[in-house]
Amino acid sequence: KVNVFWHRRDLRYIDNVGLYYALDSEEPVLPVFIFDKNILNELDDPADARVTFIHDQIAQLDEAYRRSGGGLRVFYDTPKAAFEQLMEEYDLAGVYTNRDYEPYARQRDQEIKELLASQEIPFYSFKDQVVFEQGEILTDQEEPYKVFTPYKNKWLAKLAGIQLDHYNSEQKLAALYAEKQPAIPSLKDIGFSRTDIELPNAEVRDELLANYASDRDYPAKEGTSRLGVHLRFGTISIRELVLRAQSISDTFLNELIWREFYMMILAHYPHVVDRAFKPKYDQIPWINDEEQFEKWCQGKTGYPIVDAGMRELNATGYMHNRIRMVVASFLTKHLLIDWRWGERYFAAKLLDFELSSNNGGWQWAAGTGTDAQPYFRVFNPYSQQEKFDKELRYIRKWVPELETSRYPDPIVDHKAARQRAIDTYKKALG
Ligand code: FAD
């Protein structure tokens, strides 16, 4: 008999809760990863940087497992087909995983759980991706929170009462199933090619965290961790990161709590996936001008800070948080384009794309979300520029033609667009 450990968005063997419990069980453990056709078929770009990222991580995991006498079994298929094959090939004692909270993932896991149950194979899932799951931080009335600050206070109070453990799965690899596995499929085998985007590594210096509070808002500085993609795919442990944040920077810890807040919101209020968190806001009559949307995507709006951000995103798969807020506000308020259009564009481009945070960020900017900006607060792109990139270091990097005649005129007038946004929201919300 063997136990399967199914890697999904936890692509590491160190401090991995589900893997730890699998290795601690009676049976040897076969680690598995599935390049899920249901997901990959939805991606338009054959050089999607996230697929390269995952592929690199999978290769490293496989190497580590081989060094310990095992190997990673990798499928390119639907999860259902992959498990049908595993059930045929092996006498499975159980399947171990870490919980994944997105709507698709929950449905997928339910399907696999039922498939396994048909042969009485148990499916075990563990908390690994977050410090606190959606049901663990509730109001005194046992309701989910709808606003960040009280959620955060509860989260911090709860953290103070527990010990964050390290699960030393890395010390238990001797319990891997000792069988040579087929070579993992290449990127080409799964229909992709290598990205030329630079992929950030998972290291972050204490010094960066120590200066995080003062530097994080300035896009020209390297003031943030760039760990988004690593948190997305679990190539670092959230417990380790929280412990470090606790000892160095409350501001950084605060951002990690935002991550869990938006995950909690998505889990409790799944309607946010395609509707406003606050239902009234679904009545806003978006203008949705396709030509203006295209200019926004390409970074040709004539607003330097917006254009710099969009070009950074297109070139690197990354955009600084301050600038994400500015471009999202500009799209939804200045152009009155549906936040879902912007959200979709980010989802296709961001290396650190996370459904919950992306949705939360967009709904925040559009004023439709949880802690949303009141609708009459419209970011002024010029004062954002003045405040956060005064010397134009960030902007000139991405918009080198700024001071030439080649740089386009603004596609809308700031004052008029601001007033139009306020009037439109006001009328729609009654
Ligand atoms: P750091 O500043 O170093 O923060 C560390 C980590 O904390 C991040 O990696 C992330 O996991 C978490 N974090 C930081 N800020 C937030 C936040 N506001 N909400 C939730 N988690 C946060 N973040 C994503 O991870 N994926 C997304 O798809 C995403 N889309 C966004 C869309 C919009 C419109 C906006 C305004 C924000 C979005 N964010 C998203 C949040 C934030 O911009 C990014 O997490 C951050 O810029 C990533 O860079 P970093 O890793 O250097 O972050």
pLDDT for 250? 97
Q: Is the CB of 324 under 6 A from ligand 1?
A: yes
pLDDT for 423? 97
Q: Is the CB of 10 under 6 A from ligand 1?
A: no
Atom of ligand 1 at shortest distance to CA of 231? 11
- Annotated catalytic sites, by residue? 255, 258, 286, 321, 339, 362
**What's the residue count for the chain?**
430
Which residues, other chains included, contact 17 with Cβ-Cβ below 8 Å and sequence gap of 6+?
Answer: 98, 126, 127, 128, 167, 169
At 345, which CATH number?
Answer: 1.10.579.10
Q: Is the CB of 346 under 6 A from ligand 1?
A: yes
Are residues 50 and 66 both part of a single domain? yes
Are residues 293 and 212 both part of a single domain? no
Separation of alpha carbons 53 and 198, rounded Å: 10
pLDDT for 123? 98
Q: Is the CB of 395 under 6 A from ligand 1?
A: no
Helix axes 290-298, 339-349, angle to 10 degrees: 30
The residue among 235, 160, 168, 242 whose CA lies nearest residue 200 is: 235
pLDDT for 44? 93
Residue pair 209/305 in contact by the 8 Å Cβ criterion: no
**Residue nearest atom 45 of ligand 1, based on CA coordinates:** 228
Pocket test for ligand 1, best of 216, 233, 321 (most atoms within 8 A of CB): 321
**Containing structural domain, residue 356:** 279-429
Residue that terminates a domain, selected from 225, 244, 268: 268
- The answer to whether 212 is annotated as binding is yes
Are residues 68 and 106 both part of a single domain? yes
Count of structural domains within the chain: 3
pLDDT for 89? 97
> Which residues of the chain, if any, have pLDDT below 50?
none
Report the chain's mean pLDDT, rounded to a whole number.
Answer: 97
- The answer to whether 262 is annotated as binding is yes
pLDDT for 115? 98
Q: Is the CB of 216 under 6 A from ligand 1?
A: yes
Separation of alpha carbons 261 and 151, rounded Å: 7
Q: Which residue has the tokens 């992709």?
A: 192
Residue pair 343/419 in contact by the 8 Å Cβ criterion: no
Are residues 225 and 324 both part of a single domain? no
Q: Is the CB of 343 under 6 A from ligand 1?
A: no
Q: What is the ipTM of this complex?
A: 0.99
- 189 within some domain: no
Task: Tell me, in angstroms, the distance from the centre of ligand 1 to residue 319's CA.
Answer: 9
Are residues 204 and 315 both part of a single domain? no
- The answer to whether 260 is annotated as binding is yes
Residue pair 199/48 in contact by the 8 Å Cβ criterion: no
pLDDT for 376? 85
pLDDT for 430? 84
**Angle CA 17–262–316, to nearest 5:** 85
**Residue nearest atom 9 of ligand 1, based on CA coordinates:** 228
pTM higher than 0.90: yes
Helix axes 339-349, 304-316, angle to 10 degrees: 40
Which residues, other chains included, contact 193 with Cβ-Cβ below 8 Å and sequence gap of 6+?
Answer: 46, 47, 187
